Amino acid sequence: MARIFVTGSSSGLGFLAGQELLRQGHEVVLHARDTGKAATTRAAAPAAQIVTGDVATIAGARAVAEAAAALGPFDAVIHNVAIGYTERSRAQTEDGLPAVFATNTLAPYILTALLPQPQRLVYMSSGMHRGARANLDDLDWTRRGWSGSSAYAESKLHDAMLAFAVARLWPDVLSNAVDPGWVPTRMGGRGAPDNLDEGYLTQAWLALGDDADARVTGRYFYHRQPRPANPEASDVALQERLLARCAELSGIALP
């Protein structure tokens, strides 16, 4: 039996991945943004433990990391938490950062840095990352006109960069990125055409799968199949710049 932490798991793909791992008999810690969502999640998944907190702020991400670490250590961590691609304006956190970047890029970085190293890490990316650039000189979107879809795609590129950087820097940890596809969740919408089951089963498979195809690192997966990622995701210089910028903004260095 393994112990897994899934961020952003009060609903959608994260919740479904958590449910699948519970069904397999593992210990699962889910994450909800606030007490209301935590209560709903607890009712829907009574066998899971729940960590509550908003990772959009640096202090909130720190608090979630501390609460989760108290329930660990974990065999795997799935970084599923995200804001979608429909944000019409540059919503700003109390740290002065765009909420999309803070939640989708900086929070996974902070949690990766602060949680004890698990055996496996899974980062949720998106097929939209292929059309993005890292734009490390304007992570806070102050030089460019705001685009919610572009900000989301950019953050999902960052997640792939983070997955590949961790795979390179932590050779004892299996770290991979996942494109769940355009699936019918609240974020994806009811008309999304992709296979919802494959979207969450791939997360669970990479977190704990015993077959050789799952025991790899530094890869990008779609429906349990390896796929090419945006070349910028594998650019070591860009990875190092992203890690340095996240460390500067958060005050937290990656071990």
Domain ranges across the chain: 3-250
Higher pLDDT, 251 or 89: 251
Nearest to 200 by CA among 175, 216, 224: 224
* CA–CA distance, 114 with 112 (Å, rounded to integer): 6
Q: Residue 160: what are its φ and ψ, rounded to 5°? A: -65, -40
pLDDT at 190: 64
pLDDT at 123: 98
State the SS3 of 109-138.
Answer: HHHHHHCCCCCEEEEECCHHHHHCCCCHHH
pLDDT at 181: 75
Please give the positions annotated as active site: 152, 156
- Answer yes or no: is pLDDT of 135 > 90: yes
* CA–CA distance, 199 with 13 (Å, rounded to integer): 7
Q: Read off the pLDDT of each residue in 91-103 and give the average, rounded to a whole number.
A: 96
Bridge partners for 6 per DSSP: 30, 78
pLDDT at 103: 98
At residue 2 the predicted structure's pLDDT band, cuts being 50, 70 and 90, is very high
Q: Residue 145: what are its φ and ψ, rounded to 5°? A: -70, 140
User: 3-250: which CATH architecture?
Assistant: 3-Layer(aba) Sandwich (3.40)
Note if the pTM is more than 0.75.
yes
At residue 245 the predicted structure's pLDDT band, cuts being 50, 70 and 90, is very high
CA distances from 48 to 23, 35, 42, 171, 245 (A): 11, 15, 7, 30, 35
3-state SS class at 143: coil
pLDDT digits (tens, 9 = 90+) for 16-53: 999 999 999 999 999 999 999 999 999 999 999 999 99
Query: What is the residue whose two structure tokens read 């397999």?
Result: 24
Query: What is the residue whose two structure tokens read 């102050």?
Result: 142
What does pLDDT average to over the chain? Answer: 94
pLDDT digits (tens, 9 = 90+) for 168-220: 999 999 999 999 976 556 665 565 556 667 889 999 999 999 999 999 999 99
State the SS3 of 11-70.
Answer: CHHHHHHHHHHHHCCCEEEEEECCHHHHHHHHHHCCCCEEEECCCCCHHHHHHHHHHHHC
pLDDT at 232: 98
* CA–CA distance, 41 with 27 (Å, rounded to integer): 15
Q: Is 142 exposed, middle or buried (0-12, 13-18, 19+ CB in 10 A)?
A: exposed
pLDDT at 57: 98
Phi-psi region of 179 (alpha: psi -120 to 50; beta: other; left: phi over 0): beta
3-state SS class at 107: helix
